[in-house]
Amino acid sequence: MPAASNLVDLRELAVRLAIAAGEELLARQRSLSIDAAGVETKSSANDPVSAADRASEKLIVDGLTAARPGDGLLGEEGASRVSSTGLTWVIDPLDGTVNYLYGRLDWSVSIAVEDENGALVGVVHQPRTGTTWSAVRDAGAFRDDQRLGSLRHTPLESALVATGFSYLPDRRAEQAALLQDLLPVVRDIRRGGSAALDLCSVADRTADAYYEHLIQPWDVAAGALIAREVGAVVVRGPVFPQGILAAAPSVAAPLQELLTRRSA
Ligand code: IPD
Ligand code: CA
Ligand code: CA
């Protein structure tokens, strides 16, 4: 693991690039919309990608390449470089593209740097509110300059649970079936539209849990570290092979039990 001073430098680099990418995205949002020419689709007709997503990734990749040419890269819009330092940057240049293209506020830039043990530093920036969440492994999580405190003790029946839905119709049908079991036994459900912000909402106590069944590394690399650093239980791996559950400890076990029972 790099020395603490280097971790601070890595965090500052990630914050600087996330804010710069956010400015680029803000400048473009007013002139873009979901039905604009040039908005293409990826995994399904409802999975858009725009020139703004690509411009944001280019800005971040150029900045990382200038500052840390030996580090690896993994970006949603195609950035890929093998690491010669043991560190790899995992980038979602615009998380919440649908919200962005509808002119909404809830989209973000997500940047993490990982070593062989997972995320070392994570930064999620929400340009429309100017809020930046960040964390360094074993050193806590912050919203701007404010250190985030511990999570509330909530039973499942009082939990506000965030989730997200796949772009793939068949998978959505399964997710809807699961919601039929979940909705009656929790306080309520939220579908924010940015996985990175959903994870920050768990860290921030504006939700008690977040889960999603089909998620990519760049969606969650930074936010999962931020949630974990305030004491959230974050489950991936064998239980949710392609998904994630992040929850306050009091909610994690009953929610995990319900989700795995229903998904079995
Ligand atoms: C999506 C958002 C959404 C989640 C999807 C992601 P994108 O990312 O995070 O909340 O439900 O699974 O793909 O496509 O806007 O970068
Ligand atoms: Ca994403
Ligand atoms: Ca994205």
Domain with 179 in it: what CATH number? 3.40.190.80
Which ligand has the shortest distance to the CA of 217? 2
- Best mutation site among 166, 211, 219 for ligand 1, i.e. most ligand atoms within 8 A of its Cβ? 219
**What is the reported pLDDT for 34?**
85
Helices (H), 205-248: 217-229
Boundary residue ending a domain (115, 147, 179): 147
Atom of ligand 1 nearest to the CA of 215: 12
Please indicate, yes or no, whether residues 233 and 172 belong to a single structural domain of this protein: yes
Are the C-beta atoms of residues 130 and 209 closer than 8 Å to each other? Answer: no
Catalogue the long-range contacts made by 114-117 (C-beta closer than 8 Å, 24 or more residues apart).
Answer: 114/87, 114/88, 114/89, 114/90, 114/221, 115/1, 115/2, 115/86, 115/87, 116/86, 117/1
**What is the reported pLDDT for 171?**
87
pLDDT in tens, 140-155: 999 999 999 999 999 9
**What is the reported pLDDT for 112?**
98
Please indicate, yes or no, whether residues 133 and 185 belong to a single structural domain of this protein: no
Task: Count how many domains the chain has.
Answer: 2
What is the distance in A from the centroid of ligand 1 to the CA of 1?
Answer: 30
Top pLDDT among 130 and 32 is at: 130
Atom of ligand 1 nearest to the CA of 42: 14
pLDDT of 137 > 60? The answer is yes
Distance CA 148, CA 73 (A): 29
Task: Please give the model's pTM, rounded to 2 decimal places.
Answer: 0.95
Please indicate, yes or no, whether residues 167 and 197 belong to a single structural domain of this protein: yes
Boundary residue ending a domain (111, 127, 147): 147
What is the distance in A from the centroid of ligand 3 to the CA of 76?
Answer: 6
Please indicate, yes or no, whether residues 142 and 168 belong to a single structural domain of this protein: no
pLDDT of 103 > 70? The answer is yes
**What is the reported pLDDT for 238?**
60
**What is the reported pLDDT for 44?**
81
Please indicate, yes or no, whether residues 112 and 197 belong to a single structural domain of this protein: no
Closest among 144, 180, 179 to 164, alpha carbons compared:
179
Please indicate, yes or no, whether residues 183 and 131 belong to a single structural domain of this protein: no
Tokens of 164: 């997200």
pLDDT in tens, 212-255: 988 999 999 999 999 999 999 999 976 677 899 999 999 999 99
CATH number of the domain that residue 101 is part of? 3.30.540.10
Query: What lines the ligand 1 site, CB under 6 Å?
Result: 92, 95-97, 164-165, 193-195, 212, 215, 219
Please indicate, yes or no, whether residues 190 and 102 belong to a single structural domain of this protein: no
What average pLDDT does the structure give for the chain? Answer: 94
Please indicate, yes or no, whether residues 161 and 136 belong to a single structural domain of this protein: no
Please indicate, yes or no, whether residues 43 and 129 belong to a single structural domain of this protein: yes
Distance CA 217, CA 112 (A): 10
Name the percent of the chain in helix, strand, coil, to the closest 5. 40, 25, 35
**What is the reported pLDDT for 5?**
65
Boundary residue ending a domain (82, 114, 147): 147
**What is the reported pLDDT for 45?**
82
Please indicate, yes or no, whether residues 21 and 128 belong to a single structural domain of this protein: yes
Atom of ligand 1 nearest to the CA of 107: 15
Q: Lowest mean pLDDT of 38-42, 76-80, 256-260, name the range.
A: 38-42
pLDDT in tens, 154-203: 999 999 999 999 988 988 998 999 999 999 999 999 999 999 999 999 99
Residue nearest atom 15 of ligand 1, based on CA coordinates? 96
Confidence of residue 47 (pLDDT cuts 50, 70, 90): confident
**What is the reported pLDDT for 101?**
94
Amino acid at site 237: G
Confidence of residue 139 (pLDDT cuts 50, 70, 90): very high
Print the domain residue range for 198. 156-263
Please indicate, yes or no, whether residues 45 and 170 belong to a single structural domain of this protein: no
Which ligand has the shortest distance to the CA of 104? 1
pLDDT in tens, 112-129: 999 999 999 999 999 999
Which ligand has the shortest distance to the CA of 48? 1
Please indicate, yes or no, whether residues 162 and 143 belong to a single structural domain of this protein: no
Top pLDDT among 261 and 116 is at: 116
Distance CA 30, CA 25 (A): 9
